[in-house]
């Protein structure tokens, strides 16, 4: 007889745990009165290993998913190299790979989203991981960062709480890879330290155009230590040579359906095409004597050092030039750890960093099946390891000899202690009582969130308002919406009022905290240099009867500028040009979409344009690109399709070139098309978007 639902329910009843009306305890039933702060030596000192509650909480969290990563599950990676420009940093660090000009250190970089599972889409609104493993001559160094320079919380003991909140809700496993739901915003509304990071998450930084076009940050304040033992505080920055660019929200949702692998495909295809991604590594340096010279705490991972106060000084460049051979063996099995450091780089007492130094190793032990994961090919250091650690799951070495201990005489005393080049921990003096309390210097929750808001351009600010409205509009609990708005009024009263107007909650009654008026121009993406069009994808729409000479000139001119033009036709195969020759189409139009390209061009050819004008998908292709404020171009009879698609900007009425709000046009055709047309199209493409004709405005 089939088991009755009531019987099964009774069977499961003893396994159900009811949380309502209970006190928080450890797994051993010991009551807990603080789960926000680790036990440290003094308010700003190192975290103590004897904190059994933090250890239990982090350990359980680290073992909650098998086998994919708990966070950063969806990723893409590539190999390359890092090369310092010169040796100036030797005054600050003994790290050889940062101070040896001409020496190329191999790297593997893994980019990722944070919240979603391995099967989620690339273009969700999320933080992006930017983790770099340097295979240095002195051992492996891992710079495990993000594309945002701050984080949601102060102390790693709260990381399980944050991730539990942002992950799909446990009762129905919905939504996937999204922060737009009740539990995340409930957490945010009760943790004001999150507000700076939430401003970044609601900004365009959370929807990058490409991994190759996003910045990276080490997040924490680290130490550099030179050969004499002198230490200097440091923050690490990666800056892409292609500029920092983002998608728009409508695009991200459509790309998730058209190509959920958009960012990982972009990285792979660019490397395969020889368009190698490149970043510049820079550092912000702060003398130890200046530790308390700022109006924030250097150990607070929810804060930045504004570049206007401490400039980012260039150190070297990183180039990614080789795709992995096997995704699982390399991209999936690579294991990063913030505590993988080399001589010349050391830690600070940042409580989030200290927790990561514990947690990452613990995570790899369960995810990769035991203590020998460093022997996996992608994780092996170039500096040959010699130690007395033996056996265990996944042991790949066959150790010869009788000794696996130190000191020994039977093995000739080997491996022996190093007499030079060894890692030496920075000798920082610490003292204080064992307490579970965070320093008051961490409790400025809003001023840098306001700094970020003040630094945005008008269009970036509109996008932030739209993002808050979208995210909070998905929250079902009105009290949670209202609570977040109450926090936003401490960031900027106008921001809170605009958000409240879109989510059905009362506007804040009074300005709680006056806006301090300070800004940091470096925080705006639109202030970054925009002069490169390398690897920008341009859709060229054609059909039978197209101007063949014009298409060839266009493709050649864009290619010489570094762009990647693709010829799209109503069907796969070839189209017949007006002069009778064949033109090979790269793809069928209906298999692609405008959201997958950076610009669209319609060449001349009366018959071609007539065919495309009768194709609703082709018309929509142009209309959508225009809506997303991308460069749109046409020449000769191609202007008719632009008009048919509703491109309302002024179009050229002669054979010259007109550029108006990102629309490049000329009535000229074939060989009469001036070279200026291609140059002006390249200029508009380098601007990324024609924001002056944006249509996604948010009411003030």
Least trusted range by pLDDT, from 336-350, 619-633, 649-663: 649-663
241-276 pLDDT per residue, tens: 999 999 999 999 999 999 999 999 999 999 999 999
Is 415 contained in some domain? Answer: no
Euclidean distance between CA atoms 252 and 244, whole angstroms: 17
- For residues 620 and 507, state if they share a domain: no
pLDDT at 329: 85
Domain assignment present for 431: no
Specify whether 510 is located in the same domain as 587: no
697: confidence class by pLDDT, cuts 50, 70, 90: very low
Mean pLDDT of 575-591: 94
Domain boundary pick from 345, 376, 407: 376
Assign 652 a pLDDT band (cuts: 50, 70, 90): confident
CATH of the domain at 674: 3.40.50.880
Could you tell me if 169 and 300 lie in one domain? yes
CA distance 344 to 137: 13
Q: H or E segment at 321? A: strand 313-322
Please indicate, yes or no, if residue 205 is contained in any of the structural domains: yes
In degrees, rounded to 5, the angle at the alpha carbon of residue 51 between the alpha carbons of residues 47 and 57 is 105
Within this chain, do residues 471 and 603 fall inside the same structural domain, yes or no? Answer: no
Tell me whether residue 406 is in a domain: no
Per-residue pLDDT at 611 exceeds 70:
yes
Across the range 630-635, mean pLDDT stands at 97
- The sign of the dihedral angle between the CA atoms of 491, 494, 495, 500 is positive
Tell me what pLDDT residue 319 has.
Answer: 98
Position 649 scores a pLDDT of 73
DSSP state string for 591-620: G--GGG-SEEEE---HHHHHHHHT-HHHHH
For the CA atoms of 485, 487, 492, 493, what is the dihedral angle to 10 degrees? 50
Q: How many domains does the chain have?
A: 3
User: Residue 569 — φ and ψ, nearest 5°?
Assistant: -125, 165
Cα separation, 692 vs 533, in Å, equals 20
Residue 390: per-residue pLDDT: 87
pLDDT at 60: 80
Instruction: State which of 329, 344, 376 marks the end of a domain.
Output: 376
Note the pLDDT of residue 295: 95
Distance of CA 557 to the CA centre of its chain: 32
157: phi then psi, degrees, rounded to nearest 5: -65, -20
Is the domain of 285 the same as that of 359? Answer: yes
Q: How confident is the model at residue 351 (pLDDT cuts 50, 70, 90)?
A: very high
Of the CA atoms within 13 Å of residue 332, those in its CB half-sphere come to 12
Split at pLDDT 50, 70, 90, the class of 16 is low
Give residue-wise pLDDT tens across range 278-320.
999 999 999 999 999 999 999 999 999 999 999 999 999 999 9
In a domain, 462, yes or no: yes
Per the structure, the complete domain to which residue 542 belongs is given by 537-693
Contact 284, 307 (CB under 8 A): yes
Phi, psi of 324 (to 5 degrees): -65, 160
472 and 574 share one domain = no
Examine the domain organization and report whether 450 and 586 are in the same domain. Answer: no
Instruction: Please state whether beta strands 105-113 and 75-84 pair in parallel, antiparallel, or not at all (unpaired).
Output: antiparallel
Kindly state whether residue 299 falls inside one of the protein's structural domains: yes
Both 45 and 170 in a single domain? yes
Q: What is the DSSP letter of 117?
A: -
Average pLDDT over residues 338-356: 96
Query: Is residue 584 domain-shared with residue 513, that is, in the same domain?
Result: no
**Bigger pLDDT: 694 vs 579:** 579
Residue 593 lies in a domain: yes
pLDDT band at 695; cut points 50, 70, 90: low
Q: For the domain that residue 176 is a member of, what is the CATH number?
A: 2.40.180.10
Q: Is 522 domain-assigned?
A: yes
Catalytic site positions: 72, 146
Tens digits of residue pLDDT in 312-342: 999 999 999 999 988 988 899 999 999 999 9
Whether residue 698 has pLDDT greater than 50? no
pLDDT at 14 over 80: no
| C-alpha distance across the termini of the chain, in Å | 65
Q: Do 512 and 609 reside in the same domain of the chain?
A: no
Q: Work out the burial of residue 21: count CB atoms within 10 Å of its CB; fewer than 13 is exposed, 13-18 middle, 19 or more buried.
A: exposed
| pLDDT computed for residue 383 by the predictor | 85
Mean pLDDT (whole number) for 343-349: 96
Same domain, 197 and 306: yes
Tell me, what CATH number does 473's domain have?
A: 1.20.1370.20
Contact in structure between 525 and 245 (CB atoms under 8 Å)? yes
Strand residues in 120-249 grouped as ranges (E): 128-136, 139-146, 216-217, 222-225, 231-240
Question: Which of 485, 505, 527 finishes a domain?
Answer: 527
- Tell whether 475 and 342 lie within a shared domain: no
């Amino acid at each position: 007889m089939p088991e009755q639902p009531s019987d099964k329910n009774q069977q499961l009843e003893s396994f159900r745990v009811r949380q309502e009306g209970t006190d928080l305890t450890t797994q051993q039933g010991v009551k807990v009165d603080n789960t926000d702060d680790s036990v440290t030596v003094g308010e700003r000192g190192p975290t103590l290993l004897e904190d059994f509650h933090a250890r239990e909480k982090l350990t359980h969290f680290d073992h909650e998913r098998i086998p994919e990563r708990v966070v950063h599950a969806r990723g893409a990676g590539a190999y390359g190299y890092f090369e310092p420009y010169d040796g100036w940093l030797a005054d600050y660090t003994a790290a050889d790979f940062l101070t040896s000009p001409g020496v190329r250190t191999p790297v593997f970089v893994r980019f990722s989203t944070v919240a979603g599972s391995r099967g989620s889409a690339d273009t969700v609104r999320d933080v992006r991981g930017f983790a770099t493993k340097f295979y240095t001559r002195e051992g492996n160094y891992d710079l495990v960062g993000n594309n945002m320079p701050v984080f949601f919380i102060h102390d790693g003991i709260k990381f399980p709480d944050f991730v539990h909140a942002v992950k799909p809700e446990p009762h129905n496993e919905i939504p996937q890879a999204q922060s737009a739901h009740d539990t995340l915003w409930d957490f945010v509304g009760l943790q004001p330290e999150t507000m700076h990071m939430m401003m970044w998450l609601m900004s365009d930084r959370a929807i990058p155009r490409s991994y190759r076009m996003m910045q990276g940050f080490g997040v924490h304040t680290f130490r550099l230590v030179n050969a004499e033992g002198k230490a200097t505080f440091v923050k690490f920055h990666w800056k892409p040579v292609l500029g920092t660019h983002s998608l728009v929200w409508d695009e991200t949702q459509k790309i998730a359906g058209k190509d959920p692998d958009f960012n990982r495909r972009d990285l792979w295809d660019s490397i395969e095409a020889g368009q190698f991604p490149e970043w510049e590594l820079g550092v912000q340096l702060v003398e130890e004597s200046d530790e308390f010279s700022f109006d924030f705490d250097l150990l607070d991972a929810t804060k930045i050092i504004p570049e206007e106060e401490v400039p980012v000084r260039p150190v070297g460049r990183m180039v990614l030039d080789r795709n992995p051979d096997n995704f699982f063996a390399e991209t999936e099995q690579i294991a990063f750890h913030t505590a993988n450091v080399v001589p010349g780089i050391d830690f600070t007492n940042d409580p989030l960093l200290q927790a990561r130094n514990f947690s990452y190793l613990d995570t790899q032990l369960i995810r990769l099946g035991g203590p020998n994961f460093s022997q996996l090919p992608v994780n092996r250091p170039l500096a040959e390891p010699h130690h007395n650690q033996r056996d265990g799951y996944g042991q790949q070495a066959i150790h010869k000899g009788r000794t696996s201990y130190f000191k020994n005489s039977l093995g000739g005393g080997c491996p022996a202690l190093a007499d030079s080049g060894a890692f030496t921990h920075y000798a920082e003096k610490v003292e204080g009582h064992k307490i579970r309390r965070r320093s008051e210097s961490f409790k400025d929750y809003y001023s840098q969130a306001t700094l970020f808001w003040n630094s945005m351009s008008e269009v970036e600010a509109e996008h932030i308002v739209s993002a808050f409205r979208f995210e909070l509009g998905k929250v079902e609990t009105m009290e949670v919406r209202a609570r977040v708005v109450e926090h936003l009024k401490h960031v900027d009263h106008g921001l809170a009022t605009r958000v409240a107007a879109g989510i059905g909650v009362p506007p804040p009654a009074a300005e709680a905290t006056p806006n301090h008026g300070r800004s940091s121009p470096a925080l705006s993406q639109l202030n970054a240099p925009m002069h490169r069009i390398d690897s920008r994808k341009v859709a060229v729409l054609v059909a039978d009867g197209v101007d063949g000479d014009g298409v060839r000139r266009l493709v050649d001119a864009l290619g010489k500028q570094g762009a990647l033009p693709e010829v799209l036709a109503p069907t796969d195969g070839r189209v017949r040009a007006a002069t009778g020759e064949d033109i090979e189409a790269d793809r069928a139009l209906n298999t692609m979409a405008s959201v997958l390209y950076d610009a669209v061009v319609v060449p001349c050819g009366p018959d071609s344009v007539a065919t495309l004008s009768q194709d609703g998908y082709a018309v929509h292709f142009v209309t959508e690109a225009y809506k997303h404020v991308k460069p749109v171009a046409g020449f000769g009879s191609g202007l008719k399709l632009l008009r048919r698609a509703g491109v309302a900007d002024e179009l050229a009425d002669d054979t010259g070139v007109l550029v108006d709000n990102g629309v490049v046009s000329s009535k000229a055709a074939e060989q009469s098309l001036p070279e200026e047309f291609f140059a002006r199209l390249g200029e508009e493409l380098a601007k990324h978007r024609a924001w002056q004709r944006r249509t996604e405005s948010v009411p003030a």
